Amino acid sequence: MGKFVNNTDEFYKYCEENEVEFVDFRFTDIKGAWHHITYRMSAVEASMIDSGLPFDGSSIDAWQPIEKSDMILKPDVETAFLDPFTADSTIIVICDVYDIYKNELYAKCPRSIAKKTLAHMEEIGVGDAAYFGPENEFFIFDDVKFRDDVNSSYFRVDSQEGAWSRDTEYEGGNMGHRPGTKGGYFPVMPTDSMVDLRAEMMLLLEEVGLEVMLGHHEVAQAQGEIGVKFGTLIEAADNVQKYKYVVKMVAHLNGKTATFMPKPLVGDNGNGMHVHQSIWKNGKNLFYKEGEYGNLSETALHYLGGIFKHARAVSAFTNPSTNSYKRLLPGFEAPSILTYSSQNRSAACRIPYGAGEMATRIETRFPDSTACPYLAFSALMLAGLDGIKNKDIPAGPMDIDLFELSLDEIREKNIAQMPHTLREALEGLIADNDFLKPVFTQEFIDTYQHYQFERQVWPDEGRPTAYEFISTYSC
């Protein structure tokens, strides 16, 4: 698994061996969405790989103005992999965006920001490698419908696994095997109806270069997860983009629909993106100290302390949708209390059990997959580096079941919590962003928070919901 090519010469050789007809150049916007432009293989000269490809940066949300729209895609050929879904042989190459006006990596390109974050870590002498291991959960539905109009708003998702389908008439009969609400963790077939679908996803993820370790049904009905090996910050973020692409496409081609939306079902568990992290220097894991709590070093605790201190601002990137905060509620294994614990999944940070030097790490459990992975990982790292610099101490450890604490008990223990809404997160970012400044420009921070307010917060706050009709219509 891993890279298929290491340089431009190998790229052309690989394309020839696989009779490639098209080259698909992809880049990521600030939402985390992939965009692409496809060239005929015969038109892709080596000079294009070196100098880049022109495109219109003004047509991408929150990027360039029309009078300065020309931008360059800089292909990273080491990311190349064959697209398993196209009819004609197509190779995908992930790109960075280059600013021709400043002659540097574009300040609003998430992948470029992630590269600058790694460079900053090395420049200040903290480490020379950072490893990230995201765990992306998803739902597979049979059908989804939604509407948003001036006088009507609704959504409806459907799955034969759903408890609501117990009395549905199906051709061939209703077989009745369903996990039920919060009953989906590790059942076998026929209750787990997605075994073959996940297997197909796992095989194709390996085809595109990810090292796949496991797959299983998650706690919620119609929910799954596939575990892949960690990588460097950039590799891990690239892999999230591949992972989401493969999961969505396999579902689509099987007549299903996949979503990484944090909370599509009321009353059942949501989708998270737990993020494992560690920093290394000269081949040594800086987060490890044998004999300490969870084998965590002082450096690891300071790193975590920085994440907790800046959690509101960080969550603007790790939990960047209004729907994110519908997941971060007590009772659904969604950790919103900012403390850490060994083995305890109710804390915002879990320290995995029994890890030696090679595997000791922290696992932040609050992020979700609506995050742009490059921005989320960069924000986490920059907060952590700031914590190392200032020797911040996180609250904890706490080994009790934090899900059982009442709001009053949380306040009595003086434990900070994640923000409860995207508005709170963005206001936190506005008030607290100096820790990002070594990498994130003020222009990018301003653009990002304005974009999120306009795209998510204000439209969401201005719309009545079905539940509001239940609670207030007859008042």
User: What's phi and psi for 69, nearest 5 deg?
Assistant: -90, -20
Determine whether 218 is an active site residue: yes
* Of 137, 368, 386, 427, catalytic: 137
* Of 78, 96, 99, 135, catalytic: 135
Nearest to 390 by CA among 299, 302, 301, 287: 302
* Of 111, 312, 361, 365, catalytic: 365
Determine whether 10 is an active site residue: no
Q: How far is it, in rounded angstroms, from Cα 316 to Cα 449?
A: 8
Determine whether 274 is an active site residue: yes
Which amino acid type is present at position 233?
Answer: L
Q: How many CA atoms lie within 13 A of 211 on its CB side?
A: 9
In 50-89, which positions are buried (b, 16+ CB within 10 angstroms) versus exposed (e)? Answer: eebbebebeebebbbeeeeeebbbbbbbbbbbbbbeeeee
Determine whether 363 is an active site residue: yes
Handedness of CA 105, 111, 114, 115 (dihedral sign): negative
Q: How far is it, in rounded angstroms, from Cα 297 to Cα 218?
A: 32
Determine whether 16 is an active site residue: no
**The pair of three-digit structure tokens given for residue 10, joined into one six-digit string:** 């190998």
Question: Which residues touch 6 (CB under 8 Å, ≥6 apart)?
Answer: 78
CA-based diameter of the chain, in Å? 72
* Of 218, 238, 368, 392, catalytic: 218
Determine whether 463 is an active site residue: no
DSSP letter at 457? Answer: I
Residues in the chain: 475
Determine whether 411 is an active site residue: no
* Of 178, 274, 276, 361, catalytic: 274
| CB distance 375 to 299 below 8 Å | no
* Of 56, 70, 196, 292, catalytic: 56
* Catalytic residue annotation: 56, 135, 137, 218, 225, 274, 345, 363, 365
